[in-house]
Amino acid sequence: MPSSNPAFSRGFPAAGNGQYAGWGAGPQQTTGAVPTQYDPYGKPVQSPYAATDRAYMTMDDVVTKTGISFLVTVLSAAATWALLPESLAWGLAIPAVLVAFVLGMVISFKQIANPAATLAYGILYGVALGAISEAFNDIYPGIVMQALIGTFGVFAGMLVVYKTGAIRVTPKLTRWVVGALVGALVLTLVNVVVGLFTDGDPLNLRDGGPVAIGFSLLMIGIAAFMLLLDFDAADEAIRRGAPPKFAWYIAFGLLVTVVWLYMEILRLLSYFRE
């Protein structure tokens, strides 16, 4: 089943040489039978007469690549905060966001699965996150640590929910989450466009008032459910026999969601601090 994360929205049809071209047809091999058992932490079990010269992605691959991607992003953010003057950090943050946005779109639409693309995205967004976090922390001391704890808590909580099966990722749930995401993004876009021709925040989505608090809570909820779809995408890729390199694409999708989640929690906390 294709994932519904925006980064995975077109499924997994192409991503070898940085792209994987075998998605949807099940595990491929040179001879023998397809894997007959599913173990998310190990290589799919094949017939004893099957060729074993092809590697398959495992959950360890996903965890390792995702951990490296997060670490690079955090180090980039920390270096920006600690080493650069705030004015210079902001000067770098704007172009970094723009370049990261373009790179993210390319990765998403071309299903690029290689470490250079994913880590470059993490470094670019790390620069922006470092500048933004420093600015927020100057105004509201301690807010960044609170946001990090909140982000980790939501991530861990949704992972437990997914692994225990308390909420199952079904086609109906996927449609609801994607529909809510599209609606929220359209509403945000309308607010930005209208705001270009009027003063302030026309729909009061980011002014710190009750509507803004409710909207941030909605966005955090959508991001949390997007994590469920990301986790399911990783399991589905393993079941399909994706190559190990594809874990970099899974890591990219998780990074997109977690960065978004952190920014929404940071914004919500700033409303309460005001």
User: What are the residue ranges spanned by the domains of the chain?
Assistant: 6-28+55-273
Per-residue pLDDT at 41? 53
Q: How many CA atoms lie within 13 A of 256 on its CB side?
A: 23
**Helices (DSSP H) in the chain: which residue ranges?**
59-83, 86-110, 115-139, 143-164, 171-197, 210-239, 247-273
* Residue for token pair 């980039």: 76
Range in 35-39, 144-148, 179-183, 251-255 the model is least confident about: 35-39
Average pLDDT, the chain: 83
Cβ-proximal residues to 76 (8 Å cutoff; 6+ apart), any chain: 122, 123, 124, 125, 126, 127, 129, 130
Reduced to 3 DSSP states, what percent helix, strand and coil does the chain have, rounded to the nearest 5?
A: 70, 0, 30
Spatial distance between the Cα atoms of 193 and 250, rounded to a whole number of angstroms: 32
CA distance linking residue 89 with residue 101, whole number of Å: 18
90 C-beta neighbours (distance < 10 Å), count: 16
- Cα–Cα distance measured from residue 171 to residue 100, given in angstroms and rounded to the nearest whole number: 30
Residue 19's φ and ψ, nearest 5 degrees, are: -135, 155
Quick one: pLDDT at residue 53?
A: 53
pLDDT in tens, 116-140: 999 999 999 999 999 999 999 999 9
Q: What is the pLDDT of residues 262-273, one digit of tens each?
A: 999 999 999 998
pLDDT of amino acid 171 = 93
**Amino acid in the structure at residue 232:** D
Prediction pTM value: 0.79
| Of the ranges 80-84, 85-89, 249-253, the best mean pLDDT one | 249-253
What is the sign of the dihedral through the CA atoms of 120, 129, 255 and 54? Answer: positive
Residues 6+ apart with CB under 8 A from 208: 270, 271, 274
